Structure 1
Amino acid sequence: MRRVGNTLIAAVTVTALGAGAWLLHNGAGTHAPPQPTAAQAHSGGDAGRGTGSGTAIRSAPALPPSPPTRIRIPALHVDAPLTGLPLTPAGSLAAPPAGRKNLAGWYEAGTTPGERGTAIVAGHVDNADGPAVFYDLGALRKHSTVEVDRLDGTVAVFTVDAVEVYDAHRFPDARVYGAAARPELRVITCGGTYAKATGYQGNVVVFAHLTGSRG
């Protein structure tokens, strides 16, 4: 069965998206990844359902289901293939293989990017060799574009509504993984403070919604 409710994902394991091992050799103060500023967070009562800027950006019509194959974030020079990610036996989202630093993954039992609902994409911030695919995710700004190539030949184009960082112990599961009435996308990596003993203490989350397509 393809669909599993996104709210069933246990958020705690998204901390596996970067252990910061390379920071131990290079100095966390110098090489820590960028973190989103307060200006990029949701504002007012938008709560993930608008831009938070006071000017709504209209949603595009939902696309039929189709597995994604690639993600591009032009503002960050991200251009990466996507692999399907299952849930672990503990009910958490599995991480992409750490050794392939330019590989991201999507929650293959959930919504496909572009169809109605909340699609989930996750990738490492770093690995033992250095920065990985979503190292700069915390620097992304509102209204930036995220493009997802799909197996049916279409490209789903999303506009960023907000970029936020959450402590792992206070991760807002419903806000991030909850159902949506329109096509939405979450892009997730590790973030927050960093400790040598435990790695990153939280997660950076990009909130975006579908604003166009081509193909």
Structure 2
Amino acid sequence: MAAPPSSPTDDEPAPGRQGSSRSGAMMMCAAAGLLLVASLISGHNSADDASGRSGAPRPAAAAPRPAASSSSSSSHDTASDPSEDRPVGRHLPRSEPVRLRIPKIWVDAPFTDLYIGPTGQLEAPPAADTNLVGWHAKGASPGETGTAVIAGHVDTKTSAAVFANLGELEKGDVFYVDRADGSTATFQVDDAQTYEKSDFPSDRVYDDTPRAEARLITCAGDYDRSARDYTDNLVVFAHLVR
């Protein structure tokens, strides 16, 4: 994706070529993060961002649980209903994702593994590659029972990136995750919501579910120059259909 005629300053992201206008220009940023924070590091390629900003919202909650962990950490006694842990609907065995395809918004991107770093934030995908998505490798894999978290940058200092048009997805749209075992997980969008980072609903977004679901997450809203971050997160909710 070509860079705009003039590059922004270090504190200003580049407007996306295909991004829609909002208050003059749609400012796009890096992907949102996991439950320990309301957002991933913003899409500004700097050492300060990579180590996490002290001003980033940090909801007081644990990281997303893999589906299997709910039973091992449960406080239920042996008389608990075993059906509580049974998968619901379609699901696939665990397998690493290798490629994300979203035909409606022209996404065809490889995956990279993301982990919670020493600062308690999810590591961001490498900012130098604008066509790359990451997944929480310690969480559910896409297609597996539980909540798979997929994050991607939507801008850098000079150009739009992989999730520049994520806001165009609507209920009923489909996307595909090609997996290392040779299978393809097909997801259907249930909803897309924008949340203020200061009031991010971590439980709704990240808690594991009895069916195979996925979250596509990025930033949205206005760009706050003083915080060098965006005000909101965009979350696309989806479930496995085949």
- For normalisation by structure 2, the TM-score amounts to 0.66
Q: Is the 8 A contact 2:147 2:215 kept in 1?
A: yes
Residue 147 to residue 60, structure 1, CA distance change in 2 (3 Å): farther
Higher RCO (C-alpha under 8 Å, 6+ residues apart)? 1
Residue 168 to residue 199, structure 1, CA distance change in 2 (3 Å): same
- Structure 2 CA distance for aligned equivalents of residues 141 and 131 of structure 1: 21
Specify which of 5, 11, 18 is matched with residue 43 of structure 2: 18
1:122-175 superposed Cα distances (whole Å, 9 cap, x missing partner): 000100121000011111111111100000000000000011111111111111
- Structure 2 CA distance for aligned equivalents of residues 104 and 89 of structure 1: 21
- Structure 1 CA distance for aligned equivalents of residues 121 and 35 of structure 2: 5
Partner AA of 1:158 in structure 2: F
Specify which of 105, 122, 135 is matched with residue 76 of structure 1: 105
Q: How does 1:27-66 map to 2 (within 5 A)?
A: 61-66=90-95
- Structure 2 CA distance for aligned equivalents of residues 105 and 157 of structure 1: 18
Residue 20 to residue 100, structure 1, CA distance change in 2 (3 Å): closer
- Structure 2 CA distance for aligned equivalents of residues 207 and 71 of structure 1: 15
Partner of 2:9: none
Specify which of 119, 142, 150 is matched with residue 90 of structure 1: 119
- Structure 2 CA distance for aligned equivalents of residues 174 and 60 of structure 1: 21
Give the number of the structure whose residues are more often strand, by fraction. Answer: 1
- Post-superposition offset of 1:13: 3.6
> Any idea what SS the aligned residue of 2:99 has?
strand
Residue 190 to residue 20, structure 1, CA distance change in 2 (3 Å): farther
Whether 1:155 and 2:179 are equivalent positions in the alignment is no
> Any idea what SS the aligned residue of 1:12 has?
coil
Q: Is the 8 A contact 2:45 2:157 kept in 1?
A: yes
Q: Is the 8 A contact 2:171 2:190 kept in 1?
A: yes
Q: Is the 8 A contact 2:45 2:127 kept in 1?
A: no
- Post-superposition offset of 1:60: 5.1
Give the number of the structure whose residues are more often helix, by fraction. Answer: 1
Partner of 1:40: none
1:14-64 superposed Cα distances (whole Å, 9 cap, x missing partner): 2x243499xxxxxxxxxxxxxxxxxxxxxxxxxxxxxxxxxxxxx852100
Larger radius of gyration: 2
Residue 75 to residue 17, structure 1, CA distance change in 2 (3 Å): farther
Residue 155 to residue 109, structure 1, CA distance change in 2 (3 Å): same
Whether 1:111 and 2:140 are equivalent positions in the alignment is yes
Q: Which runs of 5+ in 1 are unaligned?
A: 1-7, 22-58
Identity rate, percent: 46
1:86-122 superposed Cα distances (whole Å, 9 cap, x missing partner): 0022322211011101011000011000010000000
Q: Is the 8 A contact 1:17 1:189 kept in 2?
A: no
Q: How does 1:98-177 map to 2 (within 5 A)?
A: 98-177=127-206
Q: Is the 8 A contact 1:9 1:91 kept in 2?
A: no
- C-alpha RMSD of the superposition: 2.0
> Any idea what SS the aligned residue of 2:241 has?
strand
Partner AA of 1:11 in structure 2: V
